[in-house]
Amino acid sequence: MIKKILIGLGILFVVIIIIGMASGGSKSEPKKVGENSNNSKMQEQQAVYKVGDKIELGNVIITVNSVETSTSGQYTQPSEGNLWIDLNMTIENTGSKQEFITTLGQMFVLDDKNNQFQVAVTGKRLANPGSQGLDGAIVAGAKKTDWVGFEVPKTATGLKLQYNASFFNNKNILVDLGK
C-alpha cells in the first residue's frame, strides 16, 4: 500500500515538473513588439522597458498600460509610511497552448536599492470586485486586462516591475514605472 502511494506521488511530481517546464520554458529573449531588428537589439541590451511598451517573452506579450498610486481605498489602506502602486496590465497569449499566470509568483516591484515588493490587495483591486484578475489560465489567442497592486514605502524610488516568465528559467522583463 505504501509503495503504491509513493509511486503515485512520484508520478504526480514528475507531471507537475513537466507542466511547469512546458508552460513557461521558452528559450526566446524578451523583445519589444513592433520594432525593427536594430532597435530590438538596442532595447535588449538596455533590458528595461517603458509603460505602454508591448513586450514579447515566449508566447506571451506583456503590456503595462498605466500606473497609479494611492494611499487609501474605500475599505482599507496601506501600512503606515507606505503607498499602493496599481498597474493596469494586459497579458496576451500568442501561442497555440494555454499559458498559466500567477501574479504572486511571477510579478514583483523592485526599487533602486533592489528591494523586492510582492503583490498586495489594494484599494483599486477591492474597488473592482467583479473582475477576474490576471491569475489563472489564458487560452491560446486570448488576453486579459486587469489591475495588479503592490505596497511600497512612500520613500521608494526607481520602481520597476519585474515579470518572471516561469519558475523554471531565469528569463524576465523589467518595466520602468516612472516612479
Q: Residue 50 is part of a domain; what is its CATH number?
A: 2.60.40.1240
**The pLDDT value given to residue 42:** 44
Chain segment 10-25, per-residue pLDDT in tens:
565 554 555 555 555 4
Which residue do the cell numbers 494555454 mark? 98
Global pTM reads 0.72
The residue range of the domain holding 118 is: 2-176
**The pLDDT value given to residue 12:** 54
* Eight-class DSSP state of 151: E
Chain segment 48-65, per-residue pLDDT in tens:
999 999 999 989 999 999
Q: Residue 130 corresponds to which amino acid?
A: G
d(CA 116, CA 97): 31
Burial readout 69-81 (b: 16 or more C-beta within 10 A, e: otherwise):
ebeebeeebbeee
The set of residues, in sequence order, having a beta carbon less than 8 Å from that of 146 and lying 6+ positions away, is 88, 89, 128, 131, 132, 133, 134
Angle at the Cα of 103 (from 97 to 27), degrees rounded to 5? Answer: 45
Best CA proximity match to 102, nearest among 139, 148, 71, 135: 135
pLDDT, mean over the chain: 81
CA distances in angstroms from 89 to 17, 18, 33, 58, 144, listed in the order given: 28, 28, 16, 17, 8
Say if residue 46's pLDDT is above 50: no
Chain segment 117-138, per-residue pLDDT in tens:
999 988 777 777 777 789 999 9
DSSP 3-state of 164: strand
Question: Percentage of the chain surpassing pLDDT 70?
Answer: 73
Domains of the chain: total: 1
- Looking at residues 91-110, what average pLDDT do you find? 93
Chain segment 61-85, per-residue pLDDT in tens:
999 999 999 887 777 889 999 999 9
